[in-house]
Amino acid sequence: MIKIDLTQRAALVTGGSSGIGLATAERLLDAGAAVAICGRNPERLAQAEARLRECHPEARLIAAQCDVLDANDVAALAERIRREFGRLDMLVNNAGQGRVSTFADTTDDAWREELELKYFSVIRTTRACLPMLREAARETGDAAIVCVNSLLALQPEPHMVATSSARAGIQNLVRSMASEFAPDGVRVNSILIGLVESGQWRRRHAAQGEGKTWEAWTGELARKKQIQLQRLGRPEEAAAAIFFLASPQSSYTTGSHIDVSGGLARHV
């Protein structure tokens, strides 16, 4: 594998204290980048920071408690990144989770909450970080935003109607931002994930596994969901796609997406 050198670059990964976000931070640190991660849970954030520092004791690392829906929190984090790193070249918008609900049982408040989470977790961080990204692009010719989105954006599920709708909107937003930011050298892309191993799936296994091993239970789940690779994705597999889109490896790619669903996608 070709080693990508990101020692002169800096990244922010939201939702970086676990799962895909943490795996992405590890991948970026491996390449020498300065990395900021943020999350709302201070205990989980501290555990993630300890893990990253153990593997990368010399790393330029920020681990900040931050609510990406709070404009003041996000602005303070952006200012800290500018103060400590002096730059920002890559933004990974990874915050958010799924809501199980149908049209019939989704209340107005639930709709508002879901749409606000999906949209403003991207909008507020992008707005706060865009000046630094533009500065980086003027210097190096390349800066990138990567949004971690779901296959639901293109392949909605009726039992996740609010999340599916919001995810479709985010995919449209990615394309719109890509067009608007391209003249400044800031690329915008996304990944579309299917079912990826997470703490949420681990908890479901503990509650519903009926004595089955994790491998057996998730294998059955994958077959039931008709995932062609017959297993759940791993966080590091999603992180590899994010790394490609965030780094200069994809310097001629914007307004696009990478499918990381194991063959779950049914569209061409």
Same domain, 121 and 205: no
Residue 15: closest CA among 164, 185, 161, 149: 149
132 and 222 both lie in a single domain: no
Query: Per the structure, how many domains does the chain have?
Result: 2
Residue 202 lies in a domain: yes
15 and 53 fall within a common domain = yes
Residues 21 and 246 sit within 8 Å (Cβ to Cβ): no
Please choose, from the candidates 73, 62, 71, the residue with its C-alpha nearest in 3D space to the C-alpha of residue 37. Answer: 62
* The pLDDT of residue 123: 97
Query: Residues 192, 203: one domain?
Result: no
Label residue 2 by pLDDT band (50, 70, 90).
low
CA angle, 258 as apex, 254 and 261 as ends, to 5°?
165
What one-letter code names the amino acid at 201?
Answer: W
Using a 10 angstrom Cβ sphere, with 0-12 exposed, 13-18 middle and 19 or more buried, the burial of residue 155 is middle
Mean pLDDT of 11-18: 96
pLDDT in tens, 193-243: 999 998 888 888 888 888 889 999 999 999 999 999 999 999 999 999 999
| Domain around 43 | 10-196+235-260
Q: What is the pLDDT of residues 37-88, one digit of tens each?
A: 999 999 999 999 999 999 999 999 999 999 999 999 999 999 999 999 999 9
Mark whether 92 and 213 lie in a shared domain: no
**Within-domain flag for 2:** no
Bridge-based pairing of strands 10-14 and 34-39 is parallel
Q: Is the pLDDT of residue 170 over 80?
A: yes
Q: Residue 187's pLDDT is what?
A: 98
| CATH number of the CATH domain containing 39 | 3.40.50.720
pLDDT, average across residues 109-113: 95
In the chain, the percentage of residues whose pLDDT exceeds 70 is 99
From residue 204, give the alpha-carbon distance in Å to each of 70, 197, 222. 30, 11, 14
Facing residues of 193 across strands?
150, 260
Summary mean pLDDT of the chain: 95
Rounded-to-integer distance, Cα 106 and Cα 188, Å: 31
Is the pLDDT score of 1 beyond 60? no
Closest CA to 34 of 5, 9, 64, 54: 9
Cα dihedral across residues 189, 236, 193, 105: positive or negative: negative
What single-letter DSSP state applies at residue 87? -
pLDDT band at 152 (very low <50, low <70, confident <90, very high): very high
Secondary structure E strands in 179-245: 186-193
- Decide if pLDDT at 141 tops 60: yes
Query: 39-56 burial by CB neighbour count: b if 16+ within 10 A, else e?
Result: bbeeeebeebbeebeeeb
pLDDT at 136 over 70: yes
Assigned domain for 58 exists: yes
The answer, yes or no, to whether residue 160 has pLDDT greater than 60, is: yes
Residue 23 lies in a domain: yes
Query: Strand 257-260 relative to strand 90-93: parallel, antiparallel, unpaired?
Result: unpaired
Rounded distance between C-alpha atoms, residue 47 and residue 62, angstroms: 13
